[in-house]
Amino acid sequence: MIPQSPIVTIFGGSGFVGRYIARRMARAGWRVRVAVRRPNEALFVRTYGVVGQVEPVLANIRDDASVAAAIAGADAVVYSVGILAPSGKQTFEAVQAEGAGRVARLAAEAGVTRFVHISAIGADANSPSRYARTKAEGEANVLAHQPDAVILRPSIVFGTEDQFFNRFAAMARISPVIPVIGPDTRFQPVFVDDIAAAAEKALVEGVAPGVYELGGPEIATFRGLMDRMLGVIRRRRLVLAVPFGIAKFQGRVFDILSRASGGLIPAPVTYDQVLLLERDNVVSPDARGFGDLGLSPTAMNSELADYLTPYRPYGQYARITDSAKDLRG
């Protein structure tokens, strides 16, 4: 009898981080179920493997039956669902705390013990931020049912589909000013595929259970990251520091407008996000990280130019222009 390839169910497998995990697991020879609310919007994941190897499946993390169905027969489970701002029923509590606990519980009931949970640096039960508190609650809920789980806490994540560098680069293309809340707040940006590599290692090779904080090889302030981005896209813009007091007021106003419009008016910044920006987002000195996983993180310079080029004055033609200059030289 020919042995079947192992199966991994990835909740949020079509999201920014989840899709990279799905691609790596497919390349490792696993069958991959990408558990999402709208499978028809995740059909692109099928291209990550051979025919039938990677399939989107319906799952609502607020519903036991659909979660259990997505897990049935799986050898491993990944929870990679998170939000930066609540919307309707997709609250921080429902997604990051209760959803993580539900998936961990139902995975345990199905006999699955290989479990990877994607959390975030800054997860803290005592944080003033709901995002950080629910991330911590999610970790606790996972460990209550999956004591041998591997929890990955990345710093701010960069990569082709990111909502950080892409967002500010798009702003720089049309605005002479880049407003920055907390310009001195420090980050340790981590490449999205490095997080996927850590998840793959935990699932395929097995690593010691517990928490791993994932940061790249460079620590930089928010202002420093904006200067780096502007250098890559070759634009000169004023980086304007926004005081926390003003930012908090703006965040509350935007929150009210967003709720009043039923989400039709998205908040450019929320009050909760401002609270997060008051704290550094870097790997703790005593935390386990990439080194403990036998991995080396990717530097920003090696990736930023690849996907930020369209924001340069000549966009995708910038490289052609550069080549022409070299020829004339």
Q: Which two tokens stand for residue 281?
A: 């987002």
Looking at residue 121, its pLDDT comes to: 97
Written in H, E and C, the secondary structure of 218-247 is: CCEEHHHHHHHHHHHHCCCCEEEEECHHHH
Is residue 111 situated within a structural domain? yes
| Tokens 């791993």, located at residue | 212
Is residue 250 situated within a structural domain? no
Domain count, the chain: 1
Looking at residue 3, its pLDDT comes to: 58
Is residue 245 situated within a structural domain? no
Whole-number Å distance between alpha carbons of 208 and 75: 18
Is residue 129 situated within a structural domain? yes
Q: Which two tokens stand for residue 180?
A: 């920055």
Is residue 253 situated within a structural domain? no
Q: Which positions of the chain have pLDDT values less than 50?
A: 1-2
Is residue 212 situated within a structural domain? yes
Task: Give the type of residue at 75.
Answer: D
Residue 107 in contact with residue 146, Cβ under 8 Å? yes
Looking at residue 324, its pLDDT comes to: 53
Burial class (CB in 10 A: 0-12, 13-18, 19+), 25: buried
Sheet (strand 31-36) strand order = 54-58, 31-36, 7-11, 76-79, 114-118, 150-154, 210-214
User: Residue 33 sits in a domain of what CATH number?
Assistant: 3.40.50.720
Which helix (H) or strand (E) segment holds residue 259: the answer is: helix 244-260
Q: What is the largest CA-CA distance in the chain?
A: 68
Is residue 15 situated within a structural domain? yes
Nearest to 23 by CA among 60, 57, 61, 50: 50
Looking at residue 258, its pLDDT comes to: 87
Is residue 287 situated within a structural domain? yes
Domain containing 143 equals: 7-159+188-217+281-297
Looking at residue 1, its pLDDT comes to: 39
Q: How far apart are the first and last CA of the chain?
A: 65
Pairing of strands 76-79, 54-58: unpaired
Q: What is the DSSP string of 178-196?
A: EEEESTT-EE--EEHHHHH
Looking at residue 2, its pLDDT comes to: 44
Q: What percent of the chain has pLDDT over 70?
A: 95
